[in-house]
């Protein structure tokens, strides 16, 4: 059975490709290589023994999208990761984000609604909740006005899918709202490869420990949290990848309760920045060089998931702890640096 993974050379896409292949699916990766390298295919093949089909084109090209669907008429499902995802960049260049993240979604849905049956998983984000009123956050928490064009594209993306499913019963879709994906595959053949200076906490920690960065700046310790630093729900990327496999199989097996569903994907546990640093030092034995600086504009205080719906309806549970994820991130960082 053929499944297409757009953005499949990326961090979550590559890990999801591994899980799909190991479950017996034939995966076609679609990627324009704007934010990931084709060499990720080697890592996937080293883990599974199967090199995914790879189609390199830009989903912003409507004709290329149409051609792709003609080339693969037996596609059973699409998992759509391809998008720009840097919050800060989206503020500086909103049109890049609205074009890249939304036009590509529309083109894919236009093709999918031409098919007799279509199964679609959308990469959404807990960003849609903004600073939620109550913790943990469940799927009924109100979607707040987006703090960035990036977050807005996730909100609008979900609405586009919801409205399309309303009038296309043959389209079966799920949006997965990720919390904070971290870590790497235990084989250390694939992992997170941020381009340039990492924006996210965990790759900045591991690069600092490797001596690539002078020190980690902790963005504020004066928040109303137990240790003053922000709280997030850090989920191992392999747990997140497995959630995509389970969600796709829910659709393929017709187990979904409606033709559009939304699930939070997190661990259900909040961890502060300091707790992440302590976890890293515990698993690596490497003291981390960091300093407390001012708050980062746009940061929310706390976000962690109520995972009851994914646990009870999807039958999915996060298996890995924060230490497991930090250990895998560190092993990956050491391997990448050794090879380059
Ligand atoms: C986590 C915490 C920072 C870096 C973003 C996007 C979200 C998703 C994940 C794509 C915060 C602190 C960070 C640093 C720090 N992306 N931090 N020093 O902002 O929760 O989420 O990435 O889907 O949509 O919004 O993740 O890792 O950037 O920050 O102190 O050098 O670490 O202030 O409290 P974030 P993050």
Q: What value does the mean pLDDT take over residues 209-227? A: 98
Q: Chain-centre distance of CA 62, in angstroms?
A: 24
85 lines ligand 1 (CB under 6 A): yes
**Are 43 and 224 in contact, with CB atoms under 8 Å apart?**
no
230 lines ligand 1 (CB under 6 A): yes
Q: Where are the alpha helices (DSSP H) in 168-222?
A: 201-209
pLDDT for res 338:
85
* CATH code for residues 201-231+269-303+319-339: 3.90.25.10
Q: Chain-centre distance of CA 77, in angstroms?
A: 18
* pLDDT above 90: percentage of residues in the chain: 94
Q: Which residues are catalytic?
A: 150
Nearest CA to ligand 1 atom 33: 219
Cα–Cα–Cα angle for 80, 83, 84, nearest 5°?
Answer: 165
Could you tell me the residue ranges of all domains in the chain? 2-183+234-265, 201-231+269-303+319-339
Q: Chain-centre distance of CA 179, in angstroms?
A: 8
273 lines ligand 1 (CB under 6 A): yes
Nearest CA to ligand 1 atom 26: 200
* Ligand 1 center to 112 CA (angstroms): 33
pLDDT tens digits along 43-63: 999 999 999 999 999 999 999
The H or E element that residue 16 is part of is helix 11-22
Nearest CA to ligand 1 atom 34: 230
**Are 249 and 196 in contact, with CB atoms under 8 Å apart?**
no
Question: Is pLDDT of 340 > 80?
Answer: no
Distance between CA atoms of residues 72 and 59, nearest Å? 15
Query: Scanning the structure block, which residue is given the tokens 């702890």?
Result: 321
* Matching fold, domains 2-183+234-265 and 201-231+269-303+319-339: no
pLDDT tens digits along 96-142: 999 999 999 999 999 999 999 999 999 999 999 999 999 999 999 99
Q: Phi, psi (5° rounding) for residue 218?
A: -90, 115
- φ/ψ region of 168 (left if φ > 0, alpha if ψ in -120 to 50, else beta) reads beta
302 lines ligand 1 (CB under 6 A): no
- Model ipTM? 0.97
* pLDDT above 70: percentage of residues in the chain: 100
The H or E element that residue 272 is part of is strand 271-272
Task: Sort 186 into a burial class: Cβ within 10 Å, 0-12 / 13-18 / 19+.
Answer: middle
* CATH code for residues 2-183+234-265: 3.40.50.720
**Are 146 and 155 in contact, with CB atoms under 8 Å apart?**
yes
What is the model's pTM?
A: 0.97
Question: At 119, is the secondary structure helix, strand, or coil?
Answer: strand
């Amino acid at each position: 059975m053929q499944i297409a993974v757009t953005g499949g050379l990326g961090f979550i896409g590559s890990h999801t490709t591994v899980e799909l292949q190991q479950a017996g699916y034939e995966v076609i990766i679609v990627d324009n290589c704007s934010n990931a390298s084709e060499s990720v295919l080697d890592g996937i093949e080293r883990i599974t023994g199967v090199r995914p089909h790879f189609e390199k084109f830009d989903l912003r090209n409507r004709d290329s999208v149409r051609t792709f669907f003609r080339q693969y008429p037996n596609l059973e499902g699409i998992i759509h990761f391809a998008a720009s995802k840097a919050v800060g960049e989206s503020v500086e260049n909103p049109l890049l984000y609205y074009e890249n993240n939304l036009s590509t979604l529309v083109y894919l849905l236009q093709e999918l609604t031409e098919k007799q049956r279509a199964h679609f998983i959308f990469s959404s984000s807990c960003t849609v909740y903004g600073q939620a009123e109550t913790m943990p956050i469940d799927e009924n928490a109100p979607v707040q006005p987006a703090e960035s064009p990036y977050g807005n594209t996730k909100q609008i993306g979900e609405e586009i899918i919801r409205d399309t499913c309303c009038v296309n019963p043959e389209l079966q879709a799920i949006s997965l709202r990720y919390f904070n994906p971290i870590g790497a595959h235990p084989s250390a053949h694939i992992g997170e490869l941020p381009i340039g200076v990492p924006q996210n906490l965990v790759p900045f920690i591991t690069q600092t420990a490797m001596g690539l960065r002078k020190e980690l700046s902790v963005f504020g310790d004066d928040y109303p949290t137990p240790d003053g630093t922000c709280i997030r729900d850090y989920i191992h990327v392999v747990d997140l990848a497995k959630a995509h496999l389970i969600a796709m199989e829910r659709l393929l097996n017709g187990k979904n309760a409606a033709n559009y569903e939304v699930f939070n994907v997190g661990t259900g546990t909040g961890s502060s920045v300091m707790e992440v640093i302590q976890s890293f030092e515990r698993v690596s034995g490497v003291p981390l060089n960091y300093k407390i600086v001012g708050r980062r504009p746009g940061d929310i205080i706390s976000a962690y998931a109520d995972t009851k719906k994914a646990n009870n309806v999807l039958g999915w549970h996060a298996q890995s702890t924060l230490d497991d994820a930090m250990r895998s991130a560190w092993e990956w960082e050491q391997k990448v640096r050794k090879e380059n």
